């Protein structure tokens, strides 16, 4: 877990980074797992094949979020044993543009997985993809070392080069929000909405 980014909600990061750094709504937590945050270990699997993800669990550094491009929802990329070993080796989570299986075992192991769903059919282990190269997952181009933050609100990727800038901006934003009570928020919000309506000619 990245201790700095683990306290930052995806919603705050999305406000700062914009749509292009937010994965699409198909990449969802597959059980009620906690928020995860960590540097991306990027994987590209060939459609229908999971060899490179299975290789990645022995190569990713502890604390990494293994992020996988696969382009396939007909064959599972990982199951219960792979997730249990990944957890044992210190991998923080899987974020995969594909599907998994053995969800009950994954949940019991307490391993966070964000994916497009679950299917019982396994993939093959025959085709070489890549490790440690840019991967497109949920519509976001993820580079090795980018910071991935994921929870029930979604998955946001902070480019590694912007880590300090985004971390500082997010902390300032959260501090400002924490200092304002609901009455203050409502007053400011209503003024902003009424101004927007007026500028657009709405008089109702």
**62-90 pLDDT, tens digit each:** 999 999 999 899 999 999 999 999 999 99
Number of independent structural domains in the chain = 2
**Mean residue pLDDT across the chain:** 96
pLDDT band at 148 (very low <50, low <70, confident <90, very high): very high
128 found inside a domain: yes
* Per-residue pLDDT, 2: 85
Residues 118 and 183 in one domain: no
Q: Determine whether the annotation assigns residue 80 to a binding site.
A: yes
Does the pLDDT of residue 24 top 90, yes or no?
yes
Residues 95 and 118 in one domain: yes
Residues 172 and 155 in one domain: no
What's the CA gap between 111 and 31, in Å, rounded? 9
Percent residues over pLDDT 90 in the chain: 94
Residues 49 and 104 in one domain: yes
109 found inside a domain: yes
Beta carbons of 160 and 38 less than 8 angstroms apart: no
Region 26-45: what's the mean pLDDT? 97
* Buried-state track 170-192, b at ≥16 Cβ within 10 A, e below 16: beeeeeeeeeeeeeeeeeeeeee
- Strands 28-29 and 140-142 come out as unpaired
4 found inside a domain: no
pLDDT band at 203 (very low <50, low <70, confident <90, very high): confident
Q: State the burial class of residue 159 (Cβ atoms within 10 Å of its Cβ: 0-12, 13-18, 19+).
A: middle
Percent residues over pLDDT 70 in the chain: 100
Residues 48 and 107 in one domain: yes
pLDDT band at 160 (very low <50, low <70, confident <90, very high): very high
Residues 126 and 41 in one domain: yes
pLDDT band at 91 (very low <50, low <70, confident <90, very high): very high
What's the CA gap between 45 and 203, in Å, rounded? 55
Residues 149 and 63 in one domain: yes
* Per-residue pLDDT, 53: 98
Q: Determine whether the annotation assigns residue 139 to a binding site.
A: no
Find, among 124, 63, 127, 118, the residue nearest to 96 by Cα: 118
Residues 98 and 178 in one domain: no
Residues 35 and 82 in one domain: yes
**CATH classification at residue 23:** 3.50.30.40
* Per-residue pLDDT, 3: 84
CA angle 169, 172, 177 (to 5 degrees): 125
Does the pLDDT of residue 1 top 80, yes or no?
no
Full domain range(s) for residue 195: 167-200
55 found inside a domain: yes
Q: Determine whether the annotation assigns residue 101 to a binding site.
A: yes
**37-60 pLDDT, tens digit each:** 999 999 999 999 999 999 999 999
2 found inside a domain: no
Q: Determine whether the annotation assigns residue 82 to a binding site.
A: yes
Region 164-186: what's the mean pLDDT? 94
Residues 133 and 93 in one domain: yes
pLDDT band at 161 (very low <50, low <70, confident <90, very high): very high
* Per-residue pLDDT, 139: 98
Residues 55 and 144 in one domain: yes
């Amino acid at each position: 877990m990245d201790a700095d980014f683990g306290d930052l909600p995806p919603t705050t990061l999305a406000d700062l980074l914009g749509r292009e750094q937010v994965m699409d709504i198909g990449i969802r937590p597959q059980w009620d797992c906690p928020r995860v945050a960590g540097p991306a270990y990027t994987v590209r699997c060939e459609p229908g094949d999971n060899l490179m993800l299975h290789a990645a669990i022995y190569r990713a550094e502890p604390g990494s979020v293994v992020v996988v491009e696969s382009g396939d929802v007909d064959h599972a990329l990982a199951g219960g044993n792979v997730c249990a070993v990944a957890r044992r080796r210190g991998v923080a989570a899987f974020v995969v543009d594909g599907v998994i299986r053995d969800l009950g075992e994954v949940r019991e192991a307490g391993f966070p997985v964000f994916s497009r769903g679950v299917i019982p059919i396994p993939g093959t282990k025959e085709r070489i993809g890549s490790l440690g190269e840019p991967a497109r997952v949920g519509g976001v181009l993820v580079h090795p070392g980018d910071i991935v933050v994921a929870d029930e609100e979604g998955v946001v990727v902070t480019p590694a080069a912007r880590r300090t800038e985004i971390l500082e901006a997010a902390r300032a934003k959260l501090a400002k929000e924490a200092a304002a009570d609901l009455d203050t928020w409502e007053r400011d919000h209503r003024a902003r909405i009424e101004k927007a309506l007026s500028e657009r000619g709405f008089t109702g």
